């Protein structure tokens, strides 16, 4: 029996008059990878923001190891070990790769920072030679590696990763995806938001399908691992051979 690390129970969240997710429940088991898929506008990023505390929930409860954390700010949740890799990477363009990474570990000792930085290079070898390069000139793939690496620097227990494949060539996406099981085997639990159903099914333990702000499906990824088309068709309305 896997213990629940992070959960949302019947959560509702939105922006102004808009209800973007309604009555959504998700459960991330300790050491698991939970895939969240769904079309554009389904509420995937909103769900991650609500879990991370970037936006408040209007109803329902976000809990961490069984404790209600609704009242905790994003910063306090980060200190518990919840780290978010936002859609679009969001690096500091005027800083170098190295400086961007170090920002993820500002509370760690110099020795620990160095150790984690070396682990990032192990995970993403292309970053090794470009540590001093300005983040403003990085390719999309390099930026995504830095974004994931920066999250790793904060010694997270849980990573919330939003569409890491967005706009990247498949070969680069492969590289990013190779790192996720490595993170998982280091004890990090992961919520991975994606539109590419096939990729998520290959590495996820559980899969949640969001559609128009509600959960359409929640079950073991294994059920659809060998037939991603069935999941796409049944829940996403995407014809076989379509995206993902």
Site residues, ligand ATP (CB under 6 A): 15, 18, 20, 38, 40-46, 87, 195
Handedness of CA 164, 168, 172, 173 (dihedral sign): positive
What is residue 174's three-state secondary structure?
A: helix
Smallest distance, Å, CB 167 to ligand ATP?
12
195 near Mg ion, judged by CB under 5 A: no
Q: Which is nearer to Mg ion, 44 or 232 (CB)?
A: 44
Residue from the set 13, 37, 45, 127 that interacts with Mg ion by CB under 5 A: 45
> Residue 28 or 193: which CB sits closer to ligand ATP?
193
In angstroms, what is the minimal distance from the CB of 185 to ligand ATP?
Answer: 28
- In angstroms, what is the minimal distance from the CB of 36 to ligand ATP? 9
Contact 219, 30 (CB under 8 A): no
Q: Count of CB atoms within 10 A of residue 128's CB?
A: 12
**Cα-flanking dihedrals φ and ψ of residue 27, to 5°?**
-140, 115
Among Mg ion, ligand ATP, none, residue 109 binds (CB under 5-8 Å by kind): none
- One-character DSSP codes across 79-148: HHTEEEE-TT----TTSBHHHHHHHTTTTS-HHHHHHHHHHHHHH-GGGGGGTTSBGGG--HHHHHHHHH
Please identify, using beta-carbon distances, which residue of 13 and 127 lies nearer to ligand ATP: 13
Enumerate binding residues for Mg ion (CB under 5 A): 44-45, 87
């Amino acid at each position: 029996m896997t213990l629940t690390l992070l959960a949302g129970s019947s959560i509702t969240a939105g922006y102004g008059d808009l209800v973007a997710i309604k009555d959504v429940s998700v459960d991330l088991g300790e050491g698991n990878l939970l895939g969240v898929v769904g079309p554009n506008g389904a509420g995937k990023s909103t769900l991650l923001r609500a879990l991370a505390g970037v936006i408040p929930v209007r109803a329902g409860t976000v809990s961490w190891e069984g404790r209600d954390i609704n009242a905790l700010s994003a910063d306090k949740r980060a200190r518990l070990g919840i780290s978010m890799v936002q859609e679009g990477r969001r690096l500091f363009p005027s800083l170098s790769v190295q400086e961007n990474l170090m920002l993820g570990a500002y509370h760690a000792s110099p020795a620990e920072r160095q150790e984690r930085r070396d682990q990032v290079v192990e995970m993403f070898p292309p970053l090794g030679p470009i540590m001093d390069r300005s983040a403003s000139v990085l390719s999309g793939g390099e930026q995504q590696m830095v974004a994931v690496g920066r999250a790793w620097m904060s010694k997270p227990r849980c990573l919330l990763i939003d569409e890491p494949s967005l706009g990247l060539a498949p070969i680069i996406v492969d590289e990013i995806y190779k790192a996720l099981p490595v993170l998982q085997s280091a004890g990090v639990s992961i919520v991975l938001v994606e539109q590419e159903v096939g990729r998520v099914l290959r590495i996820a333990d559980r899969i949640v399908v969001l559609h128009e702000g509600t959960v359409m499906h929640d079950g073991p990824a294994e059920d659809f691992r060998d037939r991603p088309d069935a999941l796409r068709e049944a829940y996403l309305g995407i014809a076989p051979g379509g995206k993902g």
